Amino acid sequence: MSDHVTGPVGPFEPPCYAVVFTSVRGGDGQGYDETAECLDELVAAVPGFLGMESAGSPGGLGITVGYFRDEEAIKAWRSDPEHRVAQRRGRAEWYESYVLHIAKVERSHGFVRG
């Protein structure tokens, strides 16, 4: 996903799921940025989507964490037609490797400098 840096999103109180997507890119990345921008807009429209954040540096590990209210929201996003096209293209063209963890948030807290 593209890297909009504003600050951490959340904390989100349960019920909430975190979807942790960690990846190493490969290839020339053609079409990646455009697709990521498009997906950023699409995921924001999914009912139950709470927020997303990405970090990474070129050539390094990328981590994107999406927060969703429930399993239904995750399922809706996973099966979104444009997202599915991007998933296939990711495996074919953009990623050397990735790992996805779907996890149920049990507790959260945040800190902001006073």
**Strand 49-56 with 17-25, pairing:** unpaired
- Walk across the sheet containing 49-56 and list its strands: 17-25, 61-68, 49-56
Write out the two tokens for 37. 């921008």
Residue 58 has what DSSP assignment?
A: T
CB 80 to a copy of itself: min, Å: 18
CB 3 to a copy of itself: min, Å: 7
Which residue, 31 or 91, has its beta carbon nearer to a copy of itself?
Answer: 91
Report how many residues bind a copy of itself under the rule CB under 8 A.
49
Quick note: the x/- pattern for a copy of itself over 79-108, rule CB under 8 A, is ------------x---xxxxxxxxxxxxxx
